[in-house]
A and B are shown apart, each in its own frame.
Chain A
Amino acid sequence: MGTIWFWLVAIMIAIYVLLDGFDLGAGAIHLLVAKTDEERRQVLASIGPVWDGNEVWLIAAGGTLYFAFPTLYASAFSGFYLPLMIVLWLLILRGASIEFRNHIKSAVWHPFWDFLFCASSLLLAVFLGTALGNVVRGVPLDASGYFFEPLWTNFRLGDETGILDWYTILVGVLALLALMMHGGLWVQMKTSGEVNARAARLAGRAWWGVVVLTALVTAFTFRIQQQVRENLTTWPWGLAFPLVAVAGIAGVIFELRKHDECKAFFASCAYLTGMLTSVVFGVYPMVLPARNPVYSLTVATAKAGDYGLKIGLSWWILGIILAAGYFAYVYRSFEGKVVVDKESHRYGD
């Protein structure tokens, strides 16, 4: 039962990264691909009706993690206290900048919110990547089952780790580049004209960075987290996950050169899914590795009571089918390229 929920939560997080990933990425490249007010409204309109729903996957995944693995939720959230609070502040600023931008037409109002939208999206991508880096590297858990990490200590991988060290920063930068590529491919698919061309160029450039950093981070990860090698030896079929990532990243550049905008975006989805599932496979059965492996939280030690997990499965399946239905409906009614009316006061109407 615990392992089922381990994978269900992982799937929810993966969906969150694929969906909110493209609107975070679109935000991070906002100021680079859109110069005029009309172009910026194109970028915003490309995520306007869906960004909020995408973000709900984070909340739903958080809630699911909470009831399925309460011990993990307690340890990880209190240990990552500072970065999570910063993530919350960034989410607040970002939500406000998307919602409030188009309420007033003014030469100071628009640029302010555009800048805030771009900066908060960019930092969120970095912080989410860093969080993932922390999980892979392991945290200073002790016998009490708790830990607390300051934002940084000495940037080394000792026992007194901080949230930021050279490895987690590297993962953060990789996350930013990957989401910039992902967002660029989304914006390309949903827009036309100058914005479309700039987004394609930017995605192509980000691609090189993603390839180099993916190789580097993978090499370091094998040295830092022993469990990855062990799991690959025990279950060789797990190689399928990184292979999906490789196929995805190759597909991105191939489709980008062929100008197949839709397939390029889906190739990027495959890359992100492959990377995330590789991580999940690599650390299993740990849910939160510790610097000292004795104290690692595992599926068995972190899960909730079996009755709750069983009953949760029935409503969860029902709920996710409903959610999938809403998303299919919303995305279908939002199909095709966005058209921004020159005079329109608000987007999407």
Chain B
Amino acid sequence: MGQAVDVHRLHFAFTVTFHYIFPQLTMGLALLLVYLKTKALRTGDEHYHRAARFWARIFGINFALGVVTGIPMEFQFGTNWAAFSKAAGGVIGQTLAMEGVFSFFLESSFLGLFLFGERKLGRVGHWAAAFLVFLGSWLSGYLIVATDAWMQHPAGYRIGADGAIELSSFWSLLLNKWALWQYAHTMLGAVQTGCFVMAGVGAFYLLTKRDEVYGRTFVRGGVLVGTVAAILQLFPTGDMQGKLVAYNQQPTLAAMEGLFESQAGAPLAILGQPDVEKRKLDNPLEVPNMLSFLTYRQWRANIKGLSDFPQTEWPDQIPLLYYGYHVMVGLGTIFIAVMVLASLLEWRGKLYDSRWMLWLLMLCVPLPYIANTAGWMTAELGRQPWLIYGLMRTASGISPRVAAGNAWFTLIGFMGMYTVLAMLWLFLIYREIQLGPEPGEHLQKDHAAVLAAD
């Protein structure tokens, strides 16, 4: 961990992991806000307007943190990964610049109007502002995923005279098939975060017997949208994502599955700890032939194990990659079970009285965050040892003049600052949930308390 490349990797990994806590809720909630605003517009029910206003307040806090932690990501391409930027900036700079020009301007312009302009805009205008914020945030998601997808599976480029990687086809970059599937998979993950948070807050209100009308709206909205998202997350998007890895990044598939030896009818490991030195999986719990079937739709298909590849092609953090993948898939399966069960209870009209299910929904809130993080770890650790798959090794992408000591200095700075931001975020979100969807009442109590204290 003393080498500059390790510090730069940790620097990016830490800041991007922390950053992604915020956009996943932003993008998920953006969709749910459009859902609530549409309901409000169609029913004319003030209840839905208030519900939307409540979530807009949480959205605002979350969005602000997403913005301030997002700017460092763009900067780091140049500060910490200069050699990579110099080589590939002409290609991935396109999608990154488009994100700024097309989505950030849209989002930032209409978010202000959405948060503060409800009276001025009128009902339809305010719905439109919500929709444009949704559009901006989802477009931004696409352009970032397209950037990452190019690093996973480069397309639409050629090597120029001076060795730099040049763009040769704009549309191949933008419509990279890897980008399309990865986007669908990523966005469904974000929607699940939004749904679990909304349903979880609703369940909290129902369990504590306050704002129960809203509690029911939140639980219903979260569960209905969440069920669809949870199922699509596995099939077809997760399935296709897995196949793309299997066909294009073979050593990665083997490492994700902890498969050291090639075999026909490869099993799917549910549990087991990879021992890279001895090249085996400890105490494996496996489903026979399943990996072969999932990958090639044939029970006895041959899957290549890590031993069939030179060690220089192996991802360098096999245990982390293996766990990232297994945690993601395991949690994804649990989400389907929880959401489908909750939907059945809703259909039978028993959801709001099933205390155990409400408890379960409330306690699930942190899990989609973990699953999304684990998913990104799978994608990015799986890409190793390449920075651009097949084109550039991670070790050759760092800034040649930035010493490990300077990278540690700023990494520690970010760690300190983000610790404080995380505390503030939890505190402010908790406070909004305490204030609830009808804050007028509670606010007056607050004021009375302040006056009494004076």
* Cα(A311)–Cα(B168), bound, Å: 10
Kindly identify which residue among B83, B90, B400 contacts A308, using a CB–CB cutoff of 8 Å.
B90
Could you tell me if A81 and B71 are in contact, using CB atoms closer than 8 angstroms? no
Against B, the Cβ 8 Å flags (1 = close, 0 = not) of A305-331 are 101100110011001101100110110
Could you tell me if B101 and A63 are in contact, using CB atoms closer than 8 angstroms? yes
Could you tell me if B72 and A88 are in contact, using CB atoms closer than 8 angstroms? yes
Could you tell me if B89 and A74 are in contact, using CB atoms closer than 8 angstroms? yes
**Nearest CB in chain A to that of B86: its residue:** A74
Which B58-73 residues have C-beta < 8 A from chain A? 60-61, 64-65, 67-69, 71-72
Q: A59-B104, A60-B104, A307-B168 are in contact. Are A74 and B68 (CB under 8 A)?
A: no
Against B, the Cβ 8 Å flags (1 = close, 0 = not) of A35-78 are 00000000000001110110110111111101110110111111
**Nearest CB in chain A to that of B447: its residue:** A105
Could you tell me if B450 and A105 are in contact, using CB atoms closer than 8 angstroms? yes
Could you tell me if B417 and A89 are in contact, using CB atoms closer than 8 angstroms? yes
**Most chain A C-beta atoms within 10 Å of own C-beta, residue among B90, B113, B168:** B90
What count of chain B residues pass the 8 Å CB interface test? 72
Could you tell me if B108 and A56 are in contact, using CB atoms closer than 8 angstroms? yes
Q: A307-B167, A322-B105 are in contact. Are A76 and B400 (CB under 8 A)?
A: no
Could you tell me if A91 and B68 are in contact, using CB atoms closer than 8 angstroms? yes
| Interface residue? B366 (CB, 8 A) | no
Could you tell me if B89 and A330 are in contact, using CB atoms closer than 8 angstroms? no
The interface residues of chain A lying within 8 Å CB-to-CB of B102 are: 315, 319, 322
Kindly identify which residue among A53, A70, A74, A104 contacts B108, using a CB–CB cutoff of 8 Å.
A53
**Nearest CB in chain B to that of A308: its residue:** B167
Could you tell me if A78 and B160 are in contact, using CB atoms closer than 8 angstroms? no
Could you tell me if B64 and A95 are in contact, using CB atoms closer than 8 angstroms? yes
Could you tell me if A77 and B167 are in contact, using CB atoms closer than 8 angstroms? no
Q: A59-B104, A67-B94 are in contact. Are A78 and B112 (CB under 8 A)?
A: no
Which A72-119 residues have C-beta < 8 A from chain B? 73-82, 84-85, 88-89, 91-93, 95-96, 99-100, 103-105
Could you tell me if B68 and A95 are in contact, using CB atoms closer than 8 angstroms? yes
Against B, the Cβ 8 Å flags (1 = close, 0 = not) of A215-242 are 0000000000000000000000000000
**Most chain B C-beta atoms within 10 Å of own C-beta, residue among A63, A319, A345:** A63
**Nearest CB in chain A to that of B70: its residue:** A59
| Interface residue? A304 (CB, 8 A) | yes
The interface residues of chain A lying within 8 Å CB-to-CB of B78 are: 66, 73-74, 76-78, 84
Could you tell me if B116 and A59 are in contact, using CB atoms closer than 8 angstroms? no
The interface residues of chain B lying within 8 Å CB-to-CB of A79 are: 401
How far, in Å, is A282 (CB) from chain B's closest CB?
24
| Interface residue? B190 (CB, 8 A) | no
| Interface residue? B88 (CB, 8 A) | yes
**Nearest CB in chain B to that of A302: its residue:** B86
How far, in Å, is B227 (CB) from chain A's closest CB?
34
* Cα(A349)–Cα(B176), bound, Å: 43
Could you tell me if A63 and B113 are in contact, using CB atoms closer than 8 angstroms? no
The interface residues of chain A lying within 8 Å CB-to-CB of B167 are: 304-305, 307-308, 311
* Cα(A77)–Cα(B72), bound, Å: 12
Sample 29 A-B pairs with CB under 8 A, ordered by A number.
A49-B116, A58-B71, A61-B100, A62-B74, A63-B98, A70-B90, A70-B164, A77-B77, A77-B85, A78-B401, A82-B409, A84-B75, A85-B75, A85-B79, A88-B75, A92-B417, A99-B60, A103-B428, A105-B446, A304-B90, A308-B167, A311-B167, A312-B94, A316-B97, A319-B102, A322-B106, A329-B109, A333-B120, A347-B116
Closest 8 A/B residue pairs (Cβ): A70-B89, A77-B78, A67-B93, A304-B90, A305-B166, A63-B97, A60-B100, A319-B101
